[in-house]
A and B are shown apart, each in its own frame.
Chain A
């Protein structure tokens, strides 16, 4: 199986590579369209600022490619937010539009970034197969997607928000499975084992 990690200069992919290696997978880190199009799995990570991340995606032509991918895709953290319709970060910024949701900042008065292990409640979804209905996962983010029809997991912090989304072959998680101990590894393994 080939697992490609989208490399567009938005942050740190080393932790994710190590997490996949612990599961016996050697990922390819690439922004090459053909590599991404033909991989069995594509993981779309990201940390940092949404606007500059989008600029870097566009510079690689990946803003067009990513929403067209047909294999299972997993967005992580900023990856989830960029797969939504828009984000408040940097003013109203159009994103890739896979999920019809708008990403908003946590309300004023809350500690931001939302940093740490938060309880996540899972819907019945392939990504969470073989797991309890709630687990702790590690988050660090300042913006979030509220709930929508594609929400498959929720967390509470200044109200409820989407901890995970799914639409067709697109999966996305706001938490960091690569840094979330055995529970996170289980979710990554479930993603790798999805039938196509």
Chain B
């Protein structure tokens, strides 16, 4: 049986983790390498890095960091932020990323998805979609939620599937940071509209929210940042909670 995935997300800027993070057991909680390993040991199913300020000048820093993380990380590793071309992805994969997440660049030039799927395979192409309800319709936003586009969530999701995306990472802008639960109804509809795995993001604040996003929202994975960083939810306790509510999850077991 396939299990539901729990995915911590690290926001990284200039090689350091941003958003305040407090882990007593870590020497340097701002070091993405140490934090990534910590989550892997806790039983995280994947790790996502978003380089929120990735620009061409910062590429070298980003690659060096991706490589340091990948050398030590034995779970799947997705990197996003500022990816615009096949060349960008080739460099990240060479540094050790397993998948990449593309967002605005795919909206500006949708052919990028086809090119990446053809060159590297769908399995490494995650299309991130940020959306918010506007006049009763789920509108897709670019540029980190700053720029409204003419795209509609479900129509764009079907298009990225057709173009060869391997997963959709859906963030509800209105839920993000609220810790009041995921956009469960939109996710449930998304699960009916596409046959790609969907990663839910935005709003996870309590174990019940994760249960809802899997049981009702039909998500395949749930991504969160600060609730893990601030230890408001520990991954082992979250998995135990989900397990007792009959959600299939992976347990780290000693060999």
Contact = CB atoms under 8 A, between A and B. Distances in A.
B70 A15 contact: yes
Interface of A: 11-12, 14-15, 18-19, 21-22, 47-49, 109-119, 130-132, 135-136, 138-142, 156-157, 176, 178-186
A115 B123 contact: yes
* Chain B interface residue number, banded: 35 or more
B45 A140 contact: no
B122 A117 contact: no
The SS class assigned to the B binding surface is loop
Nearest to B69: A18
A178 B2 CA distance: 18
A192 B40 CA distance: 24
A132 B253 contact: yes
Nearest to A17: B96
A154 B120 CA distance: 27
Interface in B193-231: 195-197, 220-221
A110 B74 contact: no
Contact of B197 (A18, A21, A116, A130): A116
User: Which secondary structure dominates where chain A touches chain B?
Assistant: mixed
Interface string B212-255: 00000000110000000000000000000000000000111101
A14 B45 contact: no
Contacts of A139: 2
A14 B120 CA distance: 13
B254 to A, nearest CB: 8
Interface in B74-95: 74-77, 93-95
B166 interface: yes
14 contacts: A14-B93, A14-B94, A15-B70, A22-B74, A112-B195, A113-B166, A116-B45, A116-B221, A117-B5, A131-B255, A136-B250, A181-B75, A182-B252, A183-B253
